[in-house]
Amino acid sequence: MYRERRKDGSLCEPAVFLKTASDEAAAQFSADGHYVVYVSDESGRNEVYVRDFPSAANKWQISANGGIAPRWRPDGKEIFFVEQPRLMAVRVTTRPVFSCGAPARLFESRYLRSVSASGVNVYPQYDVSSDSKRFVILDRPAGEQPLSIHVVHNWFEEFRGK
């Protein structure tokens, strides 16, 4: 679903972008807003696809050997995705029409594996810098418990009068 914004700033009624019998997830707009990259299991396994927005009339398969966690490069010239445990990149052009190259391996990392006890996490566990030269990957060594945050209210009061 998506909502257009009227000229006065108010939102139109929600509209369906894509409705299929498959599971789609992890959608992200291209830099120019004319395309959406997403993950779908329509082939029987998760793959990365692009559709034009808002019509969704045309579809391009980006991954070839399974794919999850898609992200557009900030300038829209590349799509990154995970083909476990590899981070892949595909060169794309969006003007005058959409076209894409073949996936190329950037690097491997055990932290790109997105399988948990509850199944495959198709959402990105990484991000790319605005200049597209660096990546940040969420990392938790195997077997370690998740970090927790402890918030202590009024901690300064404990030191008053000491």
Q: What is the pLDDT along the chain (162 residues), one digit of tens a residue?
A: 888 899 999 999 998 889 899 999 999 999 999 999 999 999 999 999 999 999 989 999 999 999 999 999 999 999 999 998 899 999 999 999 999 999 999 998 877 766 555 566 778 888 899 888 899 887 766 777 777 777 888 877 877 777
Cα-Cα end-to-end distance for the chain: 58
pLDDT at site 2: 85
pLDDT at site 36: 96
Q: How far is CA 120 from CA 21, 25, 79, 158, in A?
A: 19, 12, 20, 46
